[in-house]
Amino acid sequence: MFSTDTKNKYRLNAALQRLSVLICTVFFALSAGCGEPRTPEEREPAVSASQIRNAKADFTHKYPLDKIQKKMYSTLAESMKSPSEEILIYEYKGDHMDFLLKDALTAMTCYIMDNPIESQFLANRDIRMEKVSGNLKRICAHRREGSEELDIALMKREDVQTVSRNFIDSIADLDEEKKLRAIHDRLCRGKYDSDISDDSHTIYSALIDKSSVCDGYAYAFKYLCDLADIDCIVVIGTFDKALDSDPGHAWNLVWYEDSWKLVDISCDVCDVSIGYEAPSYRHFLSDDLTMYGRIPYSAYPVPANRNYQ
């Protein structure tokens, strides 16, 4: 199905993604366990596994977070009302800091997955701890050196909002299936960004630059579905059968005809580059939620069903 050159290109991209994940994993493994353990109340998930399985279209990634992660999520949401170079995620007193960095990353990722328009500000952020005074500390998301300035990110977000609203207005009279197809086709005009820059993980790259990667396309699809009042979530996990490897990946689940359906814009974009007719619909409204071995990462739960159990 794939040419040798295409397989090699995909494997190189997959290797780069795995290296990025490995670096983050090693960092957090080294930093974890250096602080005091949480209390039982802080460790206990906000909801049970059965409640997640029974969740319907109103599922959000904030829903299954534990007490501390949920507080981080809420603090981040408040901070994003006035984005700045340094975005507050959490403040606390004490020495048990290290394991909280991983919690902050989880909370920030879940926040982006629920509010993808903010990918323009948060996709290029590093999470750091800093001492305020005495034993008071804070965890913030800092703009990565060399990434775009805040005013540029603000202008890009405004451009995305304008383009997105105009597009959704243009399809307002369509039924739900045709709206989903129109959103899919609009994003499939793009290409896969093999350079994988910071900006390629944002809605702007998918919708306006038309050159993005899997999470950029997944964020854009959810954002457009949100504007169209169609329930949709972003899934972050792995899939391996297509490439004989284990790359990190992002895709969508959309609530359609009383069940979750899989949509993967980046894979349909890549289909065209390897010879499939444009636009490809191989990954559009599929009942096979585990297509090519897709499995969500446990850090970012999704509403479970028979395909994920």
Domains of the chain plus CATH, in order, are 4-143 (no CATH), 150-308 (3.10.620.30)
82 touches 119 (CB < 8 A): no
Give pLDDT, residue 241.
53
pLDDT, residue 36, reads 38
Look at residue 9 in the predicted model and tell me its pLDDT: 44
Tell me which of 27 and 72 has the higher pLDDT.
72
Q: Parallel, antiparallel, or unpaired for β 232-238 and 295-296? A: antiparallel
Secondary structure (DSSP) of 215-276: HHHHHHHHHHHHHTT--EEEEEEE--TTTTS--EEEEEEEEETTEEEEE-HHHHHHHHHTTP
CA 219, 201, 157, 234: dihedral to nearest 10 degrees?
A: 10
Question: Distance (Å, rounded) from C-alpha 139 to C-alpha 141?
Answer: 7
Task: Please enumerate in sequence order all residues whose Cβ is within 8 A of that of 119, keeping only pairs 6 or more positions apart, or say none.
Answer: 112, 201, 202, 203, 215, 216, 219
pLDDT per position as a tens digit, 252-278: 999 999 889 999 999 898 876 666 676
CB contact at 8 A, 296 and 235: yes
Q: Which two tokens stand for residue 227?
A: 């504007």
Looking at residues 107-136, what average pLDDT do you find? 90
User: Any idea what the Cα angle at residue 12 is, between residues 296 and 185, rounded to 5°?
Assistant: 60
Nearest to residue 35, comparing CAs of 79, 95, 113, 75? Answer: 95
What's residue 244's pLDDT?
A: 55
Unique residue bearing structure tokens 């990565």? 144
pLDDT tens, 146-173? 777 888 888 999 999 999 999 999 999 9
Of 176-180, 200-204, 268-272, which has the strongest mean pLDDT?
176-180
Using only C-alpha atoms, the chain has a radius of gyration, in whole angstroms, of 19
Per-residue model confidence as pLDDT tens digits over 41-96: 444 555 555 565 566 667 899 988 999 999 999 999 999 999 888 999 999 988 76
For residues 3 and 267, the model is more confident at 267
Phi, psi (deg, nearest 5) at residue 20 = -60, -45
Comparing 133-137, 182-186, 224-228, the range with the smallest average pLDDT is 133-137
Angle between helical axes of 176-187 and 265-273 (0-180°, round to 10): 50
Residue with tokens 């009942």: 287
Q: What is the DSSP letter of 48?
A: -
Q: Measured in whole angstroms, how far is the alpha carbon of residue 42 from the centre of its chain?
A: 25
Task: Report the range of poorest mean pLDDT among 4-13, 18-27, 123-132, 190-199.
Answer: 18-27
Q: What percent of the chain has pLDDT over 70?
A: 74
The pLDDT mean for the chain works out to: 80
Alpha helices (H) in 137-175, listed in sequence order:
150-170
Q: Give residue 160's pLDDT.
A: 95
Instruction: With beta carbons less than 8 A apart as the criterion, state whether 214 and 250 touch.
Output: yes
Query: What pLDDT shows up at residue 276?
Result: 66
- 294, pLDDT greater than 90: no
The pLDDT of residue 161 is 96
Answer with the residue of higher pLDDT: 246 or 140: 140
- What pLDDT is recorded for position 94? 82
Contact of 139 with 89, CB cutoff 8 Å: yes
Residue 219 has what pLDDT? 96
